[in-house]
């Protein structure tokens, strides 16, 4: 009679236990996620409001307006156009007339050499976390800063 390989069997059993635990965790989070989705949907339906001084998670996906008095810096990262084409996302680090700092996603271009010339002005859009950020490994190890807004 052939013996069952101990190490591979143990690895499979650990993987199965991990998958079951993750599934149960997702079921436990179902109500919390439903609340977040309802809040985001309600925020999308609200009229635009001035960018609040303090941004909290309950404001995510709210429509906001702001004045970018000057652009302090530009960052560029990977992104996709509304049609799904890959490109380079341009993000302006704005400073308001009162000194508040916020980021504005100015869109995606296919040319990596494009340097935006926008110097500021009135902006309107949907409040969200800034694109990009820490890797999954950084988040798992607890080395990830809170998302920028």
**Overall residue count recorded for the chain in this entry:** 149
Q: Locate the domains of the chain by residue range.
A: 1-45, 47-141
> 101: number of CA atoms within 13 Å, CB side?
7
Q: What is the pLDDT of residue 76?
A: 87
Are 51 and 67 a contacting pair, CB within 8 Å? no
How far apart CA 123 and CA 65 sit, in angstroms, is 6
Beta bridge pairs of residue 73: 93
Give the tokens for residue 140. Answer: 């798992």
Count of Cβ atoms closer than 10 Å to residue 43 Cβ: 18
Residue of 124, 69, 114, 76 whose CA lies nearest to 94: 69
pLDDT along the chain (149 residues), means of 10: 89 97 92 88 90 84 93 88 86 93 89 88 87 60 59
Q: Are strands 70-80 and 63-68 parallel, antiparallel or unpaired?
A: unpaired
How far apart CA 63 and CA 119 sit, in angstroms, is 22
Q: What is the pLDDT of residue 139?
A: 63
How far apart CA 107 and CA 54 sit, in angstroms, is 25
Q: What is the pLDDT of residue 3?
A: 85
């Amino acid at each position: 009679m052939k013996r069952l390989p101990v190490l591979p069997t143990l690895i499979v059993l650990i993987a199965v236990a991990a998958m079951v635990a993750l599934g149960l965790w997702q079921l436990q989070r179902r109500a919390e996620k439903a609340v977040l989705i309802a809040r985001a949907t309600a925020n999308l339906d609200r009229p635009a409001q001035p960018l609040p001084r303090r941004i909290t998670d309950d404001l995510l996906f709210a429509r906001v307006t702001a004045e970018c008095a000057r652009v302090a810096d530009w960052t560029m990262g990977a992104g996709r156009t509304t049609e799904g084409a890959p490109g380079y996302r341009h993000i302006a680090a704005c400073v308001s007339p009162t000194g508040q700092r916020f980021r504005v996603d100015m869109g995606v271009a296919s040319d990596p050499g494009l340097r935006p010339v926008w110097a500021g002005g009135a902006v309107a859009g949907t409040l969200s976390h800034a694109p990009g950020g820490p890797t999954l490994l950084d988040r798992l190890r607890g080395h990830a800063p809170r998302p920028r807004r």
